[in-house]
A = this chain, B = another copy of it.
Amino acid sequence: MSEARFDVVGIGSAIVDILAHTEDSFLSNHEAPKGTMLWVEEDQSDALYKEIGPAIEASGGSAANTMAGIASFGGKPAFIGKTKQDQLGAIFAHDIRAVGVHYETEPLQEGLASARCIILVTPDAQRTMFTYLGASGSLSASDMDPDLIAASKVLYIEGYQWDLPETKTAIIEACKVVGRAGGKVALTLSDPFVVERHRNDLFDLVNEYVDILFANEQEITTLFRSNTFDGAVEAIDGRVEIAALTRGEDGAVTVTKDKLIQTPAAPVKKVVDTTGAGDLYAAGFLFGHTRGDDLKTCANLGALAAAEVISHMGARPELSLKDLAQKNGF
């Protein structure tokens, strides 16, 4: 693995976020469960956009945020995800390259517009997401550059992609490519509803390919149909090399075949917007892991990055995570 050109290659949706503040009542009026992600069609996205207040736009996408975080730590990430050649697509491509992520996926010349995600932040700093996938949903086998994937220590996958049959199949091929090259497969379960919809497929993926599994409490209990977090932890039972489980302000639990490491959340002055918390936890953890840190340090780096991203609006770090890590002695 010493020859790997990239620490991590992420595969996911190439999305620009549209961030606005809202009240809880707006979510209940739209029957949107707080804290989750809903797929919407273009007309639904447009209708919702008309109803929300003034917004700001910032590049997002779960795996893309994670790659941006790894770059901010000083790691070497790459990203595969589809845009259209339009203004939002140009914004996405600019931002991910500007932060130092290798990104060369060919944009669509015509057809569906670039993806956007309306993220509504309630006064409790929780975010609820309405994703119009557009061009991003047409990621397919031809976008999975095997040289790039084989040149990466870790392939990082969004569970969200399991809603896209063609993409899912292409990703499984990518898992085989990275495995043959001696790399590892990491998966984030993304969202409890995604896990619910694709439980069997994700379960098979975890058993067959996944080395490093990221999940929050709701997602891991849904995957293992467990009533309790402890039950879910038991159910992991060596299925993956590492399970990196997050529990919000209660910190994180890292589970391996023979160890269970508990680590606290990093302190945050004021939680402003929880968008990207899980994505940046994965960034810190994978950055540490690919440079050879012990698991406790990996978890602490994850917590540090998550704390930075929830202290402001938007899902990507505003500060240099490299500087932040150094300041905190990592």
Instruction: Name A residues whose Cβ lies closer than 8 Å to a Cβ of B.
Output: 49-50, 52-59, 68, 86-88, 91, 94-96, 98-99, 113-114, 314, 316
Contact = CB atoms under 8 A, between A and B. Distances in A.
B57 A316 contact: no
28 contacts: A49-B94, A50-B94, A52-B98, A53-B98, A53-B99, A54-B59, A54-B68, A54-B94, A54-B96, A54-B98, A54-B99, A54-B316, A55-B91, A55-B94, A55-B95, A55-B98, A56-B56, A56-B57, A56-B58, A56-B314, A57-B57, A57-B58, A57-B91, A86-B86, A87-B87, A87-B88, A87-B113, A87-B114
Nearest to A19: B56
A87 to B, nearest CB: 4
Contacts of A96: 54
A98 B49 CA distance: 9
B113 A54 contact: no
Contacts of A52: 98
Nearest to A21: B318
A87 B55 CA distance: 14
Contacts of A316: 54
Nearest to A96: B54
Nearest to A56: B58
A87 B18 CA distance: 12
A56 B60 CA distance: 11
Contacts of A49: 94
A24 to B, nearest CB: 18
Nearest to A18: B91
A206 B294 CA distance: 69
A114 to B, nearest CB: 8
Nearest to A57: B57
